[in-house]
Structure 1
Amino acid sequence: MSASTLDMRKNRTAVFAVLMALGMLALGFAAVPLYRMFCQVTGFAGTTQVASESDAARAARFADSAAARTISIRFDGNTASDMPWTFHPEHPTDTVTIGQRDMAIYIAKNNSDERITGTATFNVEPEQAGAYFNKIQCFCFTEQVLEPGQEVRMPVLYYVDPKALDDPNMKGVEQITLSYTFHRALDLAE
C-alpha cells in the first residue's frame, strides 16, 4: 500500500471521527428538548398537558353531566437549595369535579435582598395521571421575577380530563399530586 493511499485513509477516518463527534454533540443538545416534547405529548414521567380553552369547554360539558365524579388534588411547592424564596400552595388540597376547571394559588416570596428570576419545574403523581392533568394557565409557563422582599400570588388554572375515567391504569387513583420546584433561572447576561 502506498503512502498516499495510507494518508488518504487516515484523513477519511479523521473526518469520519470528527463528524461522529459533532453528531453526538448535536444529539446531546437535542436530547433535553426532544425528551420534554415526548413527555408533553404522552404524559410520560407525570408531565401535565397544556390545554386550550376549547378543550376545557369540552371537559366542562362532561362535568355538568350526572356521570361526573370528584377527585382529590394535593398541591406541593418546593425550592432548589440555592433559591432564597419561600414557595407553597395557599391550600394543600382541593376536591374537584373531573372535567371542571378549577384554580389553585401558589404563594412565592423572595427572602433575599436581590432581584431574582425563577423558573418552575413541575411533576404530577401518580405518573399515569400526567396525561389527564391539563393546565390552561400556569405561572410555570414563564419565568417569574421577584424583587427583594416581594411576595406574589400565582394562579394555576387546570382540569382533570374525563378520559381518565376510561383508563384502567387510573382505576383506584383517588388523589393526584401537582408538585412544583422553583429554580434560579439562568442569567444569560453574566
Structure 2
Amino acid sequence: MSRNSRTVLGLVGVVVTMAALAWVAVPFYSWFCRVTGFAGTTQISSAAPDTVLDEVVRVRFDANVDKNLDWTFRPMQTKMEVRIGEDAMAFYEAVNNSDETITGTASYNVAPEVVGYYFDKIQCFCFTEQTLEPGERVEMPVNFYVDPELVDDRDANWVRDITLSYTFHRTEPKQAALDVAPAKNVN
C-alpha cells in the first residue's frame, strides 16, 4: 500500500470517527445531564423518600413561552416552602390564545445548577407533549421533592432557594402523545 493510500485511508477513518462521535454526542450529553444533574437537569423518581427533614427549601416557579407558540403559560403559585424530602405538588396553567390546535413540549431546568442532582420529579407535564385546542385552558401538575442527600453534599448543602423553570416550545404532535391525557381541562 502506497503512502498516499495510507493517508487517504487514515483521513477516511478520521472522518468516520468524527461522524460517529457527532451522532452519539446529543444522546450522550442528555444521558450525562440526567445522571449528574449537570446544567440544572432534574432527576426522575417514582416516589418521594421515606425521610423528610425539618429543613425547608423555598421553590420558586418560573414560566416562559417560545416566541413561536401563541400560548399564555404561567405558574399558578410563584413560590412555596417545602421540607427537604417532602412530596410536593405545584400547578402551571397554559392557555392556547390562537385559533388553531397547537402542540407544545416543555423544557426545564433548576437553578442553581448544583441542585439539579437533588431535585426529583415524580410526575410532570414536561414528560409528554401537550395539545391544546383553540382557546383551551389547562392546569398541569408537577409533583416533586428535594432529595434529603442534598444536606450531605458539601457543594450543594447551602442551597435553600431553588428556581424551577419551564419553557414551552411548539412541536409537531406524535400519535402516541395524542393518546395520553396528562393535563386536566378546566374549561
TM-score range, shorter chain: 0.7 to 0.9
Counterparts in 2 of 1:97-136, with a 5 A limit? 97-136=83-122
Structure 1: give runs of 5+ residues left out of the alignment: none
Count of matched residue pairs: 175
Alpha-carbon shift at residue 15 of structure 1 (Å): 4.2
Larger radius of gyration: 1
* Alpha-carbon distance between aligned partners in 2 of 1:183 and 1:73, rounded to the nearest angstrom: 23
Q: Quick one: structure 1 residues 147 and 11, their matched pair in 2 at CA, closer, same or farther if it must change by over 3 Å?
A: farther
Structure 2: give runs of 5+ residues left out of the alignment: 176-187
Counterpart in 2 of 1:50? 44
TM-score (norm 2): 0.85
Q: Would the aligned equivalents of 2:62 and 2:166 in 1 still touch at CA under 8 Å?
A: yes
Alpha-carbon shift at residue 186 of structure 1 (Å): 4.4
Q: Would the aligned equivalents of 2:131 and 2:173 in 1 still touch at CA under 8 Å?
A: no
Counterpart selection for 2:31 from 31, 34, 37: 37
* Alpha-carbon distance between aligned partners in 2 of 1:142 and 1:27, rounded to the nearest angstrom: 28
Comparing both structures, which one devotes a greater share of its residues to helix? 1
TM-score (norm 1): 0.84
The amino acid across from 1:161 in the alignment is D
Counterpart selection for 2:162 from 164, 167, 176: 176
Q: Would the aligned equivalents of 1:62 and 1:68 in 2 still touch at CA under 8 Å?
A: no
Is 2:63 aligned against 1:74? Answer: no
* Alpha-carbon distance between aligned partners in 1 of 2:19 and 2:170, rounded to the nearest angstrom: 26
* Alpha-carbon distance between aligned partners in 1 of 2:136 and 2:8, rounded to the nearest angstrom: 56
SS at match of 1:114: coil
Q: Would the aligned equivalents of 2:75 and 2:91 in 1 still touch at CA under 8 Å?
A: yes
* Alpha-carbon distance between aligned partners in 2 of 1:38 and 1:104, rounded to the nearest angstrom: 27
Counterpart selection for 1:144 from 109, 119, 130: 130
